[in-house]
Chain A
Amino acid sequence: MESAQPGARLRLIELTKRFGGVTAVDQLDLTVAAGTYFALLGPSGCGKTTTLRMVAGLEEPTRGRILLDEEEITELRPYRRPVNTVFQSYALFPHLDVFENVAFGLRRRGVPDVTEQVRAMLSLVQLDGYDRRRPAQLSGGQQQRVALARALVNRPRVLLLDEPLGALDLTLRRRMQLELKRIQTEVGITFVHVTHDQEEAMTLADTVAVMNNGRIEQLGTPAELYEFPATAFVATFLGRSNLLSGTVVGRDGDDVLVEAYGQRFSVPVIRARRTAGAVLLGIRPEKLRLVGTVDEVPAGHQAVAGIVTDAAYLGTSTQYLIRTGWGGEFSVFVAADGEARPVPVGATVVAHWHPRYAFLLDGGTPGGTPAVPVDPAGAVPANGVGPR
């Protein structure tokens, strides 16, 4: 048990949960490396909580296996699992004070002297001196810390956090994010953090898995997910993307040629999830530049012309909405670097980008062969790509 790593590697194999007709979690395959901060990111209702509950033992999987390092825990009852949870609502025991809440797990396992451990844990979460308070006498942020301390004090091999910061206001949430990160580094336990907030996932996690409809769409570091999303869902859920549907019409050396709305575009083949048939050409709004005429587009760049329909000044950037010639909409973020002049609504503009920033996704129509997903080593989702 006392291996070099306090955290364990968590493996889910074909994990499935059905509630009657609803498939909440669908053949999930996932490996979380030991001692890492892992985020499970997805919209509400996609099956995140259900996945965590199965790992904690609070829900029985319909199918599949759960492994901690090499040990199978699928059948173990919750109290036998070296796994603890920070619940979404905290679920602090109202009849016990802070000290007893934190000591709860230790006492249940018959640990003889808990005082020292509890005190140490309370100071780790910066709640020294709050021992005798009741949960009702604490602020939201303090309750959150107690919930964290209560789980961590048991030294679980894996700590599950179900939207732990969901109930906090923005400022507090930011502070707690840094705090969580610090604590995880300090204790070295594997953290599995569930959230629907992409910013939170990207701030905290070493690895992020994006979940949708009970499946994992993509898994990787925040940068990998952002720079080269695997599916249209990831491209739009994690940040924003302009997606053009088109068809692959050929190859030009290391580039894939795409026709969309009567225009030709090219994308480097290493940036393509699919190299034939129907595709979606994606480009992030902040990778676009705005110029007044086609003549100003730099050589090698690709361009789309349109009319500015909306401009929102956000301080760090200005967001433009551009109606293209074929009636589509393009978002363009122009950084407020002091050089860009504001563009008035109604102006005719040309948005351009360098092809290396674009990416090609499966367009969802039958006919082509999907490209092999380029995934980071170590963690391979079985169902990373493909239409849903």
Chain B
Amino acid sequence: MARRLWRRVADHWVLAAAALVLGYLLLPVVVVAGLSVNRPSSRLSYDFHEATLDNWRDPCAAPGMCAALLRSVQIGFLATAISTVLGTLLAFALVRYRFRGRTALNLLVLAPMATPEVVLGTSLLALLVAAGVPQGFWTVVIAHVMFCVSFVVVTVRARLSGMDRRLEEAALDLYASEWQAFCRVTLPMALPGIVAAALLSFSLSFDDFVVTNFTSGTTVTFPMYVWGANQRGIPPQVNVVGTAMFAVALLLMAAVRLRGRRARQPAPPSRGDAGAASERPVSAEVG
């Protein structure tokens, strides 16, 4: 009996550890949600005082916040659209073709991801200043596209390289032109990757502070607003936005999940031996 108990503990302690880590990940989100319904005792206070729904009723009561939010959304959409298109084209070329300069291009694509944001931001600033370009809305968009493209390429490429090339060949064999094969077979199959890349781009752009800080001039995005407000005292409405973003993210991911599931639905459970082996829930342990 004791041995069984001990075995249980040995098998499951890692679950407890993971639960604690998950708690650590989610704790600030819970706190943000809590602060979003908090009426602070003073402007500089960041402690719980009393519950109120005022912040949710009128998020724009914090002066300037909604304008900053709107600007962030605009920049996010623009940066997402441009970087998704550019990145998808790059990913297609890198996966499907061998051409001169491919290796160098690969490096160029990965490099921004391996560069700290301060360096990205300061180097852009250095260039803008040297070229005499005033900083503002569009320089922020340009900067965001630059670091989003890398993430788009990586995400779309992962999807593309996992794809069965023979499906395209089958389409060509069935009298599709190359362009038709691309539109009817390749693109739909790559779409989940592209959607994921677009979501990622938007979140990266919307959330970016560091690069924006160096390229925005006097333009204020939402993170810039929060940064500035930190000196003066954070309005609780900031937490309303944080909580709402979290909720939107959850909804989006649920929607993507549901669509994906419906698309895959009719597949019957496979019963090959190899299939069974990989489907089997394996209970491996860490000791």
Contact = CB atoms under 8 A, between A and B. Distances in A.
Contacts of B273: 44, 49, 88, 163, 166
Interface string A27-49: 00000000000000000110001
Contacts of A45: 271
B155 to A, nearest CB: 26
Nearest to A166: B273
A236 interface: no
A166 B276 CA distance: 15
A89 interface: yes
A89 B276 contact: no
Chain A contact residues: over half helix, strand or loop, or mixed? loop
Contacts of B25: none
A195 B277 CA distance: 16
Interface range for A: under 10
B5 interface: no
A138 B210 CA distance: 51
Contacts of B276: 49
A69 B27 CA distance: 55
A168 to B, nearest CB: 15
B271 A89 contact: no
Contacts of A88: 273-274, 277
A163 B273 CA distance: 10
A49 B277 CA distance: 9
Nearest to B272: A44
A285 to B, nearest CB: 30
Contacts, number: 15
B11 to A, nearest CB: 10
Interface in A128-167: 163, 166
Interface in B266-287: 271-274, 276-277
A44 B270 CA distance: 13
A43 B72 CA distance: 62
B271 to A, nearest CB: 6
Interface string A74-110: 0001000000000011000000000000000000000
B209 to A, nearest CB: 40
A49 B280 CA distance: 12
A49 B275 CA distance: 13
A142 to B, nearest CB: 20
Contacts of A163: 273
Contacts of B7: 77
Nearest to B10: A77
A88 B273 CA distance: 9
A89 B271 CA distance: 16
Contacts of A49: 273, 276-277
Interface in A156-196: 163, 166
Contacts of B277: 49, 88-89
A89 B272 CA distance: 13
B23 to A, nearest CB: 31
Contacts of A89: 274, 277
Interface in A61-81: 77
A77 B7 CA distance: 10
Interface string B243-287: 000000000000000000000000000011110110000000000
Contacts of A166: 273
A166 B271 CA distance: 16
A25 to B, nearest CB: 14
Nearest to B276: A49
A44 B274 CA distance: 11
A77 B272 CA distance: 27
Nearest to B285: A77
Contacts of B272: 44
Contacts of A77: 7
A90 to B, nearest CB: 12
A163 B277 CA distance: 13
A18 to B, nearest CB: 15
B280 to A, nearest CB: 9
A163 B271 CA distance: 16
A162 to B, nearest CB: 9
A45 B269 CA distance: 13
Contacts of B274: 88-89
A56 to B, nearest CB: 13
A7 B276 CA distance: 30
Given A45-B271, A88-B273, 13 more contacts: A44-B271, A44-B272, A44-B273, A49-B273, A49-B276, A49-B277, A77-B7, A88-B274, A88-B277, A89-B274, A89-B277, A163-B273, A166-B273
Interface of B: 7, 271-274, 276-277
15 contacts: A44-B271, A44-B272, A44-B273, A45-B271, A49-B273, A49-B276, A49-B277, A77-B7, A88-B273, A88-B274, A88-B277, A89-B274, A89-B277, A163-B273, A166-B273
State the 4 A-B residue pairs at the shortest beta-carbon distance, nearest first: A45-B271, A88-B273, A44-B273, A89-B274
